[in-house]
Structure 1
Amino acid sequence: RISIESAYKVAYSFTLLSSLFMAVGAYYTEEPYPLIAIWTFAALLMYTYDAGPQTKRLGLIGNIAISLMVGAVIVYGAASVSLAETEIVIYAAIVAFFANLAREIIKDCEDMESDEGRKTLPMRIGLMNARSVAYVFILASMVTLGLAHYIGPLEYHHIIFHAPAIFILFSLNGPLFHGDDHKAQQNVRVGMLLGLIAFAVQVSVL
């Protein structure tokens, strides 16, 4: 464990490193403005999550902020090679956003008893209703994934690469119905990882 003062120093050091790496990336990429814009957007989300309005205390708003940052990571990586506006990147970011939003809500269900000083979605509408909302966001991620293969840049039959992730995410209704929030949010994490791997395989191999 470290002191609060040391923690602040570490945080400032990583912030400086992040800004330096962003500046280097912007210098070498052909289209620097998307990279700078995404980094600035994510930095503002991170700052307002812990300071300022402290969106982490606002339940669903904080969940959305974190999920936007998760989606921004994908777009930021693409922006570093001037591909931020590529269709597959946008679809992948939206899928990640919805899936992570579901996971954040499920984690709030899991941590409901220890979440003092926060107005989480489960506290507002109840555990079962919050779990239902989380599953709706899981379905939204699956719909987005389907659209990427049906009207988007990917071949429809290539959705088979996402079969493991789809199976894991669709089967979440079991642990959610039984109140096993820990298993559910861990399964979402695994599903997201498998989905991102599938996107990477499609981009690099097909």
Structure 2
Amino acid sequence: MADRLGAYSDLFRVGNSITGLVGVGVGALVVNGMEISIDQGVIITSYGLSVMCFMFGWNAYNDITDIETDKSNRPERPLPSGRLTLNEASNAMRGSLILSVLFLVIGATKLTDSIMDEEAFVSAGIWLIAIFLLISYEGVSGNNGLKHRGLAGNTAIAAAIGMDVLFGASAVSGTTDPKVISLAIMAILFSLARELIKDIEDMEGDIDRNTLPRSVGVDNARSIAWAITLAAFVSLFLPFILEVFPIEHAILVSPGGLILMLVKSKLFLGEDRAAQQLIKRSLQISMIGVIVSAMIVG
């Protein structure tokens, strides 16, 4: 039983999917601080669960479509290792996506008296854009998606992650708030740098993909990834410079910025996995700083 649960947990990438749920909460907190009503709490929770379930389904779909390359890159994954069958993964994917839609409807209905009202349309629109980006990344009906086209695929994934924050903000009608936009840009740049480095890490197994390191070479890809990492660093402190956040913001995100600066040495040494893990850790720590900063502003 425990082995089966572990296999589904790996299929869904539960840790990363929970991060999506947290991102929704962050988007809402950045707008309202701690001034969240019970009704808004229900909406935020519903939206967060919608994102988490969607990520469950998308991660399962990703494993289904990547089963051949995972035999080389990640043979320990549930499908190539035989811990789950293709049919089991497909059923899990469908169930997760149905739950995602259900939670979206619950949250949007709670947000307004009618799901046809403007605020519900904003939430549904963001959700649909994120789906479009991820479907474009994976491809459909046997057609190659953006993941086979290098930087375009990396950008689609990063943009979808940025949508997570906007989706959370839509729960409190705050998608145009400068604080939210700042956070979304930060998430996009962090994610784009990390996706590029992950492509370098997986290059040997990605024989059917025209990823950036395959197109321009590993060294050039690392240089581009470092340039985007620097842009992510700037995005941490630019909101303070533009007076979107108070001076406390610069102090609170500094630990994340310091971690981000360690990425260069890892890239130079060819330690790509360590580099992308540093970016992930930096984003997590920076998010905490942004939350506290937003609560101070609120």
SS in 2 for 1:119: coil
Q: Does 2:202 correspond to 1:111?
A: yes
**How far does residue 2 in structure 1 lie from its aligned partner after superposition?**
2.1
Cα shift at 1:84: 1.6
The one-letter code sitting in structure 1 at the alignment partner of 2:131 is: A
Partner deviation per Cα, 1:60-98 (whole Å, 9 max, x = no partner): 111111111111111111112222211111111101101
**Of the two, which has the highest radius of gyration?**
2
Q: Where has structure 1 moved over 6 Å in runs of 4 or more? A: none
Q: 2:107 aligns with which of 12, 19, 25?
A: 25
Report what 1:5 is aligned to: 87
TM-score (norm 1): 0.94
Amino acid at match of 2:276: Q
- Cα distance in 1, alignment partners of residues 110 and 296 from structure 2: 26
Separation in 2, partners of 1:152, 1:84: 19
Cross-structure match for 2:122: 34
Partner secondary structure for residue 144 of structure 1: helix
Deviates more, 1:40-49 or 1:116-125: 40-49
1:88 aligns with 2:179: yes
With CA pairs under 8 Å and 6+ residues apart, which has the higher RCO, 1 or 2?
A: 2
Of residues 45, 66, 88 in structure 1, which corresponds to 2:133? Answer: 45
Give the CA deviation at 1:113: 0.9
CA contact (8 A) 1:88 1:152 kept: no
What letter matches 1:36 in structure 2? A
Q: Does 1:122 align with 2:210?
A: no
Is residue 155 of structure 1 aligned with residue 265 of structure 2?
no
Q: CA RMSD in A?
A: 1.4
Q: Higher mean Cα deviation, 97-106 or 51-60?
A: 51-60
CA contact (8 A) 2:246 2:293 kept: no
Displacement of 1:143 in angstroms is 2.0
Q: Structure 1 residue aligned with 2:271, among 161, 180, 188?
A: 180
| Counterpart amino acid of residue 59 in structure 1 | G
Q: Percent sequence identity over matched residues?
A: 35
TM-score, normalised via structure 2 length: 0.66
Q: For 2:98 and 2:250, how far apart are their aligned partners in 1?
A: 40
CA gap of 1:152–1:205, structure 2 versus 1, over 3 A, is: closer
Give, in whole Å, the separation in 2 of the partners of 1:109 and 1:181.
7
Structure 1 gap ranges (5+): none
Q: What runs of 5+ residues in structure 2 fail to find an aligned partner?
A: 1-82, 113-118
